[in-house]
Amino acid sequence: MDPFLLEALLNGILLGGVFALPVLGCNLVFGVVDVVWLCYAELVMVGMYGVWFLHTQQGWPLYLAFAAALPLVSALGVLLHLLVVRPLLGAPPINQLLATGGVLFLLQGGAMLVFGTDFRSLGVELPPMEWQDVFISGTKLAAFCAALVGAGALWAFLKFTYVGIAIRAIARDREVMPLMGVDPRRVYVVASAVGGALAGLAACLLVVQLDVHPFIGLSFGPITFMICVMGGLGNMLGGFLAAFLMGVIVSTGSFWWNTEMSYVIAFGFFIVVIFARPRGLFAR
């Protein structure tokens, strides 16, 4: 195989790993609370700024900055839920979506006010790996592995803890939950915290690969939602697989054409998928 195409394919898989975390986070929140956080990518942005600020401005070691980003964004997720989503739980669902769209502007503008519009770089880079003419960025590979670990941790949480199982249950039938002694409102908060933590983890993995700026959310937010819908909103496994599919489409698309066209193809593919399978590629 053409080594460059192979490289594009591998990069696509690595990219899929990065898409996977926000997709899982979005799906988790949607599955439980039934609200799409339109500002999800902006939560990731806040985490990226957090890591950048703590590491380069405050001189924290990188691992401490990473460790701080998770609870920071997790708390932001809880705050978003309590202040914006919870008061709207009885409102038409679309109002919740639009309110989180307001938070998107708020965080974007807030980032501009605090950090300006400059591109901020963490300036860390692992050496690339080479294997038979195929070069893979060490940083991307490390981020990919961390994403898999994060997804694995989420899987274990959902599979083995009482709250995790309740989260999977509530996604299917929320009215019946109180009969089991489950207060759905508390599960919502937990899901928001976990969804936020996943955004925080995604932030750590992205900030080592990309410069952070106030509009960065717009560059991967839309595709995150597309992937969620493609996999089936609330369907964690579907979203996880769709993330890799989209990663490969975007990556090989840029190999054959250019970055914008690769996204056009990816979004076009998304629309076709929705028309072919309105409840997602992996809907049962």
Partner 1 sequence: MRAEEPALVLEGVRAGYGDFQALFDVGLRVSPGEAVGVVGPNGAGKTTLLRVISGMVRPRSGTARFGEIDIATTPPHALPASGIAHVPENRRLFPHLTVEENLRVGAYIPAARKRFAERADYVYRLFPKMAQRRHQLAGTMSGGEQQMCAIGRALMCSPRILLLDEPSAGLAPLVVAQVFELVKRIRDEGLTVLIVEQNVAQVLRVVDRAYVLDAGRVVAEGASAELAADPAIRNSFLGGH
Partner 2 sequence: MIPAVVAIVAVLAVVPLLGTPDYFLHLGITSMLMAVSGTGWAMMGRFGLVSLGHGAFIGTAAYVMALLWNEAGLTPWLGLPIGVGAAMLLAALLGYPCFRLRVVGHYFALVTLAAGEIVRLLIVALREHTGGSLGMTPRLAPDAPFLAMQFSKTGFWWMALLVWVFGLAVWWMLDRSMSSKALAAINEDQDAAASIGIQVTSEKLRVTIISAGIAALGGALGAQYRLYLNPESLAGIGISLQIVFGAIAGGMYSMLGPSVGAVFTIALEEVLRVGFGTAFIGAAPFVYGVLLVLFILFLPRGIVGFFAKRR
Residues that bind partner 1 (CB under 8 A): 162, 165-166, 168-169, 172-173, 175-184
d(CA 104, CA 256): 33
Q: Is 126 in the site for partner 2 (CB under 8 A)?
A: no
Nearest distance from C-beta of residue 109 to partner 1, angstroms: 39
**Judged by CB under 8 A, which of 20, 23, 54, 111 binds partner 2?**
111
3-state helix, strand, coil in the chain (%, to 5): 75, 5, 20
CB-based contacts of 135: which residues, under 8 Å, 6+ apart? 7, 128, 129
Count Cα neighbours of 158 within 13 Å in the Cβ-side half-sphere.
Answer: 24
Nearest distance from C-beta of residue 246 to partner 2, angstroms: 12
Toward partner 1, which CB reaches closer, 168 or 255? 168
d(CA 88, CA 26): 18
Q: Residues 205, 146: contact at Cβ < 8 Å?
A: yes
Beta strands in the chain (DSSP E): 129-131, 134-136
Residues 29-68: x where in contact with partner 2 by CB under 8 A, - otherwise, as a string = -x-----x-x------------------------------
Q: Is 268 in the site for partner 2 (CB under 8 A)?
A: yes
Q: Is 84 in the site for partner 2 (CB under 8 A)?
A: yes
Is residue 267 classed exposed, middle or buried when 0-12, 13-18 and 19+ CB atoms within 10 A define those classes? middle
275, interface contact from partner 2, partner 1, none, CB < 5-8 Å by kind: partner 2
**Judged by CB under 8 A, which of 20, 229, 241, 249 binds partner 2?**
229
Q: Is 117 in the site for partner 2 (CB under 8 A)?
A: yes
